[in-house]
Amino acid sequence: MDISLSMVAKEAHQGLDGLPMPVPHKIAKKHKKAVLFFEVEILDAKTREKLCFLDKVEPQATIAEIKNLFTKTHPQWYPARQSLRLDPKGKSLKDEDVLQKLPVGTTATLFFRDLGAQISWVTVFLTEYAGPLFIYLLFYFRVPFIYGHKYDFTSSRHTVVHLACICHSFHYIKRLLETLFVHRFSHGTMPLRNIFKNCTYYWGFAAWMAYYINHPLYTPPTYGTQQVKLALTIFVICQIGNFSIHMALRDLRPAGSKTRKIPYPTKNPFTWLFLLVSCPNYTYEVGSWIGFAIMTQCVPVALFSLVGFTQMTIWAKGKHRSYLKEFRDYPPLRMPIIPFLL
């Protein structure tokens, strides 16, 4: 129905046989004016209830602009909460899609879905990462009510416990600073409900690991200094590697843009892992947790590494698949996360 409408609009000054009709100049102009605006109706994707009717929408209007217009009549649904689709069950339109270029007529029907309360990525990452940093330190300083009264504010006699605290804190401080100053997110927000799940995971594991590592009865690694040194080397290399990858990804995306490109190795040797894997940042991340597990020789840390590895493999596979789909000339040697294997 929508398509026929736009055909009529075109035929008005073309004539039915497709030949231009000799219309007087003034009238032709009037017809042109008539198609200068679109009408947009927004229906609820579930109930098909009509939520909003916008007349006189400019053809060049973007979905972002339509979301802004919609918010004016429904302030509870701010733009980041809205998903607009052409088909009630189809994919969400992108903010930068232009009305005129969509397969709609001069009257467009869009279906609305409420994505739920949203929270910005920066806020998400700050809460996710500040938590473990703070929680770990509570155990490190042995604040009261954790290990029993006589240990309050005492400190461990094992060097590795202090080193572990430095590594753990460094890791999360690095993450916090990267979130603030390095990453360029393409999606502005994420659903609020996700944050509860993520925080339970990060905060819970941090508390569990910290409890054992800082425990007064903690026993240092079997192979002593040798083992700690090896672990520290792995940890440091992976942290630098991870940071290098984040800088390389940042440089792929000019400030304020949303473009996505194939990442390639740069002059920095730590980025050469891009020759073999799609998500070297995850490879390094897993590596540094393995380093931390060797250093502390502690079961909860090993478990955290394993869970993290599983999750990151899932993300890396997804990312790898979308790279393959998006770029036809994607380097064939690359695997998602582990060179030649996985």
Ligand X SMILES: *[C@@H]1O[C@H](CO)[C@@H](O)[C@H](O)[C@H]1NC(C)=O
Ligand Y SMILES: NC(=O)c1ccc[n+]([C@@H]2O[C@H](COP(=O)([O-])OP(=O)(O)OC[C@H]3O[C@@H](n4cnc5c(N)ncnc54)[C@H](OP(=O)(O)O)[C@@H]3O)[C@@H](O)[C@H]2O)c1
Residues of this chain that interact with ligand Y (CB under 6 A) are 183-187, 198, 249, 252-253, 260-261, 263, 315, 318
Task: Using only the alpha carbons of the chain, give its radius of gyration.
Answer: 28
Nearest to 251 by CA among 232, 234, 274: 274
Q: Does 294 bind ligand X (CB under 6 A)?
A: no
Q: Does 239 bind ligand X (CB under 6 A)?
A: yes
**35-38 contact pairs (CB < 8 A, 24+):** 35/6, 35/9, 35/10, 35/59, 35/106, 37/106, 38/99, 38/100, 38/104, 38/106, 38/107, 38/108
Q: How far is CA 129 from the centre of its chain?
A: 15
Interface positions, 129-148, toward ligand X (CB under 6 A):
none
Residue 185: contacted member of ligand Y, ligand X, none (CB under 5 to 8 Å, by partner type): ligand Y
Binding flags for ligand X, 318-337, as an x/- string (CB under 6 A): -x------------------
Q: Does 244 bind ligand X (CB under 6 A)?
A: no
State the number of CA atoms in the 13 A half-sphere of 175 facing the CB.
Answer: 20
Query: Min. distance of Cβ 285 from ligand X in angstroms?
Result: 4
Q: Which residue is nearest to ligand Y (CB)?
A: 186
One-letter amino acid for residue 157 of the chain = R
Judged by CB under 6 A, the stretch of 32-40, 53-61, 76-84, 284-292 that binds ligand X is 284-292
Query: Min. distance of Cβ 92 from ligand Y in angstroms?
Result: 15
CA distance 160 to 307: 24
Residue 271: contacted member of ligand Y, ligand X, none (CB under 5 to 8 Å, by partner type): none
Q: Does 231 bind ligand X (CB under 6 A)?
A: no
Binding flags for ligand X, 172-201, as an x/- string (CB under 6 A): --xx-------x------------------
Size of the site for ligand X (CB under 6 A): 18
Q: Does 128 bind ligand X (CB under 6 A)?
A: no
The token pair that represents 39 in the structure block = 């009408």
Going by their DSSP bridges, the two strands 38-44 and 107-114 should be labelled as parallel
Q: Does 118 bind ligand X (CB under 6 A)?
A: no
Q: Does 156 bind ligand X (CB under 6 A)?
A: no
Q: Phi-psi region for residue 264, left (φ > 0), alpha (ψ -120 to 50) or beta? A: beta
One-letter amino acid for residue 167 of the chain = C
CA dihedral sign, ordered 82, 88, 92, 96: negative
The token pair that represents 22 in the structure block = 């000799």
Binding flags for ligand X, 7-46, as an x/- string (CB under 6 A): ----------------------------------------
Rule CB under 6 A: which residues touch ligand X? 171, 174-175, 183, 238-239, 242, 246, 249, 263, 278-279, 281-282, 284-285, 288, 319
